[in-house]
Structure 1
Amino acid sequence: MQPDSETPPPGAAEPKENSVTTQSNVPTLTDQTVYLPKRKIISVFLACASVSVTGLLDETMVAVALPIMSSHFNAGSQISWVANAFFVTSTSFQLIYGRLSDIWARKSVLLVLMFIFFVGNVASSVSRTFIELLVFRAIAGVGGGGLPTIAQVIVSDVVSLRERGKYQGILGVSVALANGIGPVIGGAFASHVTWRWIFWLTLPMTIFSAFMVCFFMPLKPVEGDWRMKVKRVDWLGVGLILASSTLIVLSLTWAGAEYAWDSAHVLVTLILGIFIGIGFVLWEWKGPQFPLLPLHIFKSSIVVGAAITQFINGFLTMVQVFYLPTFYQMAYGYSATRSGAMLLPLTVVQTFTSTFSGLIITWTGRYREMILIGWAIWAVGLGLLATLKADSPVSRQIGYSILTGFGVGQTFQPSLIAVQGALERKDMAVVTAMRSFARNLGGTIGLAIAGTMINNVLSSRLHALPSSIISPEQLRAIVNNPVETVYSLSDPLRADVIDGYRQGFRDVFIVLASLAAFSFFVAAALLKHRKLDRDDDKELKEQGKQFVQELQAAKARRKHAGEQQSESPGTVPEKESAGTSETEGASAEKP
């Protein structure tokens, strides 16, 4: 196969390769592709959007409330672990989501993840100690991290590849919406009520999303004995990637903040994490029957390019979401609510460009140009943010954010269409999960590195001051809890602290701009264009119409049988044929 050719990969139009068969009572994977009629697509799409907003809103609301949580628990610099605990588990489990949804039905996996997310947030809302909060956030991350990923997989199941650009682009609006309103809501609750409301708010949203999933997703069921499905899961791979991710992120969180970069704590932890990661790759190469990360997908240069650029996308996005509000609080003295609101211009533009880029892909059948333009604009926007000074007007702050938003919106969803178009349908779920894994891992590492850079710059600047101006106790208090401490300092010292933070953020923005520019060249070299129309699209759409008709017929038969039984209580309805029973089993996935 020529990975950069203009035609779909061999087997792309043969979904039956992956259909359910049984050999010696061992089930294989089910092809869950079912291209639905438009009215059904809309109901599925709304359910997926609800799920995505619920999962992503939780992350972004927490981001802006971290300084207030730090003050409540007196956690100091360790408060970053409230975010890191969620990201470590959501990242580490990201690869398993795709394969689990292949082994079980998409809907079943999604509902289990929503339950875990719900339990984790209930527990987080009543945490009495900082350790409890970290543990419960880690639990929430196991569930919450998979919600957007499975939503993307489901949309890809029910919509053809070319039309997917439109729907995935609009689904990207949920990402932008969560990134925009999350900091505003989180800042308002944390500042004026209590940070616990951040977790309480997600509970009714999760219940509503679960209702939408149960009753508005007519998806294919997956047959097979559950014991055999459990055996299909690559549990050793899960353990290896969880251990590797945790150790790597832990080492980067320690570096420069609690321990020096060349300390044994950092180096041993980092090297051990890398070695375990190598072990994970070797295991995935030859070990499991159904690997979490089948390495053959990396034969495509498009997949390699998407993995690299989405790693950087996550790095940049998470640093923006988590640190831009803090930047505005520290550099300009904005409140938590106002600093969160300063993300809205970026988010509004990101929402527009995400939707528009998806529509362009559907209209033209091309995605490459959108990705390249997006990375170029994003690099320029971040570079301009690095030039902000103490006296920079609000108009300039907002203008640079708007430019950045133009870039963000054009790099996220189009890359999903690119990787899905590069592979056969049987690899769609795992490559979608891989892309999410790369993005989440980049975000986790980005948060750790950005925090380290800012703290290092500030610490170096403050250590240069004479002890008559700043005491060791003040130094520790400023580094551990800057937002709460800085405005209680004397004017000269406060000016030094704010200037140190501004310099630290400037260095971060320069690094981000450089990474965005690098991604432009990676995308130009590796993300070649593929034809998005496939030969069997029309046939699959007809099969989708038939699938919906069978569900509706089964529903009508059940209703009729129930009416007959209510009229004649002693009568048992005639048993359906075997073929009908299978169809009605599918109707458990409510139309």
Structure 2
Amino acid sequence: MNSPGTNYEDNSIGGIAASTDVRGKAADSYTLLKQDALMLLALACLSLMAALDGTSISVALPVISEELNASTIEAFWIGTSFLVCSAVFQPVFSSFSDLFGRKPFVLLAITLFFIGAVVACIANDTLHMFIGRSLQGVGGGGIITLTSIVIADIVPLRHRGKYLGMLGAIWSLGTVIGPVVGGCFTQKASWRWVFYINLPFIGIGLILVAWSSSFRTGKISVSSHWRKIDFIGIFLFTASTASFLIPLSWGGILYPWDSWHTLTPLITGTIGLCTFGAFECRIAIHPIIPPAIFSNRTALILFTECIALGLMIWCCLYFLPLYYAAVKGLGPIMTGVALFPETFTVAPAAVVIGLLINYTGQYYYIICIGWFLSTIGMGLLCLLNTNTKTIVWIFLNLVPGLGLGMILPAVALAIQASAKPENLAISVAMSTFFRGFGQSIAVAIGGVIFQNRMKSNLLKYPALETLAEEYSSDAATVVQTIQRMEDGQVRIDLQQAYADSLKIVWAFCCGLSGLILSMSIFTKSYDLNRVLVTKRDSREENASKEGNRAAENC
């Protein structure tokens, strides 16, 4: 095991002192400027909106589908398009903002999110709703990844922990309370308020960001940077990633896993991603995702942790509500409220851990402890049964929430600490991309586990044996079946089979968390008492030196 606080690799740029940030201030006396604080507040607010939009529609989707006369596959695309677009376009925003500056692309992301919200608000058919959700996904992905990158731009490494902790708390809070917000609006007002509520916050954020001069832009030659854009890489990455994620989202739900509808895009996406990797390594002069970010063993492990983190959080957010609705019989709003044990552990834990890292300068043991608690917590969820009392499942949910909350800011900071200066922005973007990737595959993996176990469990009950194939096809559709059933032994048996099947999902998450814990032990710990200077900082410094030399010559 490597002890924390040791700088195993020198990521500093020659001539930049480790204790001084790019603004010439001592890192240990750093104070966030008022303008920076307002700008980060605006971005944090927008990140909350983006996180809310990712999950709030889940409860409203049945009502939306009915009002818009959406078919099954149209309803699926309304719900899935946001997550897929959000994940796919994050590295693209990072790459372009690294070339042309952060501010234009932050404004572009906000604008796309705003336009998407307006289109979704007024949509009267599925096509316009799909367009609105897709635009929101692209903009939301840009907001989420650029917020983390801007924090890395303006805050010294030692002090980023508390801001990343707050950002992680905001993201998890928005993700968890989204279904509650969606349920309240759907039941008490109109589903259109799920989108209307975004507009004032977007407007305030857009104004604050537009007035801010905190973004680093440097002196940019648009024509020279235009030639550095990896157009082929961008096309291969976006098309292949979308082709890979889409069948994972509908496999076993809309189409069987062995159907050509699932296998064809999945295989095509896999081949495309392999082609993209070969192109970036062998051919691309200015790759959109530099292969160098994966040459570090620690970075590879940390990116894997991001996938596992997104997967486990999303498994909790997707399958726990199904447990509360199917087994406990809770309605949409109370199902969202039942997730509060995660909300009031993940979000506060992320903030506290961020402050702790800021104070101690250490994150290695926090990551290990977080994965340990997550492993124990996911194991405890296996105790959830049909007769589990409310007070019991509340406390069972506290442990995984605490563990995942500890990991969120610590892993994000560790990735930044292990990145080389010229790859900082794309490393930040890839961390959010891999977390989103984990979310996208969570339902697919959990669904396959549930489907197999549910079919096996239903075969144990004679009254349900003939319905095993139908009831095991989709975890969500069984909820409606159970709620429509009259009280009796058949309903009790179906609820028991449902709870037993979900236990295997939690067991899988427990095993995955334990595996990641064992991998985390072999990561290196980097010194946080230094500042990583981005490529944009280097360009500004070079431009300043050239300007000084020109002045001296004159």
TM bracket, shorter-chain basis? 0.7 to 0.9
Q: Which of residues 264, 274, 279 is equivalent to 2:275?
A: 279
Q: Distance in 1 between matches of 2:11 and 2:353?
A: 28
Rounded to whole Å, the distance in 2 between the matches of 1:381 and 1:296 is: 35
Aligned position for 1:43: 38
Q: Equivalences for 1:536-555 in 2 at 5 Å?
A: none
Alpha-carbon distance in 1 for matches of 2:510, 2:208: 40
- The secondary structure found in structure 2 opposite 1:361 is helix
Greater shift, 407-416 or 132-141, is seen at 132-141
- After superposition, the Cα gap between the structure-2 partners of 1:199 and 1:497, relative to the gap in structure 1 and judged at 3 Å, is farther
Describe how 1:350-365 pairs up with structure 2 within 5 A.
350-365=346-361
Q: Which residue of 1 aligns with 2:543?
A: none
The letter for the 2-side match of 1:494 is R
Structure 2: how far apart are the matches of 1:446 and 1:478?
14
Counterparts in 2 of 1:536 and 1:323: CA distance versus 1, 3 Å: closer
- Farther off after superposition, 227-236 or 93-102: 227-236
Letter in 2 for 1:99: S
Structure-2-length-normalised TM-score: 0.85
Residue 62 of structure 1 aligns with which residue? 57
Find the residue that maps to 2:330 and give its secondary structure: coil
Q: After the TM superposition, which residues 385-464 of structure 1 pair with which residues of structure 2 at under 5 Å, given as runs?
A: 385-458=381-454
What are the superposed Cα offsets for residues 505-550 of structure 1, whole Å, 9 maximum, x if unpaired? 222212112111111112112x21011112799xx99xx9xxxxxx
Structure 1 unaligned spans of 5+: 17-30, 545-577, 580-591
SS across alignment from 1:113:
helix
Structure 1, 432-441 or 279-288: larger mean CA deviation: 279-288
Question: Does residue 509 of structure 1 match 2:506?
Answer: yes
Could you tell me how far apart the structure 1 residues matched to 2:137 and 2:532 are? Answer: 38
Letter in 2 for 1:7: N
Give 1:456 deviation, angstroms: 4.8
The residue aligned with 1:214 is: 210
Q: Cα deviations across residues 310-353 of structure 1 (Å, max 9, x unaligned)?
A: 01111111222233223211121111111111222211111221
Distance 1:221 1:381, change over 3 A: same
Residues 452 and 477 of structure 1: is their aligned pair in 2 closer, same or farther, counting only changes over 3 Å?
closer
The residue aligned with 2:230 is: 234
Of 508, 516, 524, 2:521 maps to 524
1:564 counterpart residue number: none
Instruction: Provide the C-alpha distance between the structure 2 equivalents of 1:186 and 1:357, rounded to a whole number of angstroms.
Output: 30
Is the aligned partner of 1:7 residue 2:7?
yes
Letter in 2 for 1:249: L
How many Å apart are 1:498 and its aligned residue? 3.0
Q: Distance in 2 between matches of 1:448 and 1:536?
A: 37
Structure-2 residue corresponding to 1:558: none
Aligned to 1:380: 376
Gaps of 5+ in 2: 541-546, 549-554
Separation in 2 of the partners of 1:381 and 1:125? 39
TM-score w.r.t. length of structure 1: 0.80
Residues 120 and 158 (structure 1), Cα distance of their counterparts in 2 relative to 1, 3 Å cut: same
Per the alignment, do residues 205 and 451 of structure 1 end up closer, same or farther by CA in structure 2, a change over 3 Å counting?
Answer: farther
Call closer, same or farther: CA 1:474–1:444 in 2, change over 3 Å.
closer
1:165-213 Cα deviation digits (max 9, x unpaired)? 1222222221232134322212211233232221121122211221221
Name the CA shift for 1:510/1:469 in 2 (closer, same or farther; >3 Å): closer
Once the two structures are superposed, residues 391-432 of structure 1 have per-residue CA deviations (whole angstroms, 9 ceiling, x without a partner) of: 111111111111111101111111121111112222110000
Q: What's the CA shift string for 1:350-376, capped at 9, x where partnerless?
A: 122111211221222111111111111
CA contact (8 A) 2:367 2:411 kept: yes
Report if aligned partners of 2:455, 2:472 keep a CA contact under 8 Å in 1: no
Q: 1:270 aligns with which of 266, 270, 281?
A: 266
Partner amino acid, structure 2, of 1:12:
S
Q: Matched residues in 1 for 2:297 and 2:98: separation?
A: 24
Moved more, 112-121 or 284-293: 284-293
1:191 aligned residue: 187
> Structure 1 residues 471, 298: CA separation in 2 closer, same or farther (over 3 Å shift)?
closer
Would you say the 8 A contact 1:34–1:157 is kept in 2?
no
- 1:159 correspondence with 2:155: yes
Q: Which residue pairs with 1:585 in the alignment?
A: none
Q: What amino acid does structure 1 have at the position aligned with 2:371? A: W
Name which of 124, 136, 150 aligns with 2:132: 136
Answer with 210-219 or 431-440: which moved more. Answer: 210-219
Please say which of residues 67-76 and 210-219 is displaced more in the overlay: 67-76
Q: Could you tell me which residue of structure 2 aligns to residue 586 of structure 1?
A: none
- How many residues align structurally? 525
Q: Structure 1 residues 536, 428: CA separation in 2 closer, same or farther (over 3 Å shift)?
A: closer
User: Which residue identity lines up with residue 39 of structure 2 in the other structure?
Assistant: V
Q: In the TM superposition, what is the alpha-carbon distance from 1:94 to its structure 2 partner?
A: 1.6
Note closer, same or farther for the CA distance 1:379–1:367 as it changes in structure 2 (3 Å cut). Answer: same
Q: How far apart are the structure 2 equivalents of 1:305 and 1:478? A: 33
Displacement after TM superposition at 1:15 (Å): 8.5
Q: Deviations over 1:231-255 (max 9, x none)?
A: 3322222221222222222332343
AA matched with 2:52:
L
Residues 343 and 468 (structure 1 numbering): CA distance in 2 closer, same or farther, change over 3 Å? closer
Cα distance change of structure 1 residues 397 and 472 upon mapping to structure 2, 3 Å threshold: closer
What SS class does the counterpart of residue 410 from structure 1 fall into? helix
1:314-333 equivalences in 2 (<5 Å): 314-333=310-329
- Asked if the contact 1:63–1:322 (Cα under 8 Å) also holds between the matched residues in 2, the reply is no
CA contact (8 A) 2:455 2:469 kept: no
* Cα distance change, pair 15–395 in 1 and its aligned pair in 2 (3 A): farther
Pairing of 1:556-571 with structure 2 (within 5 A): none
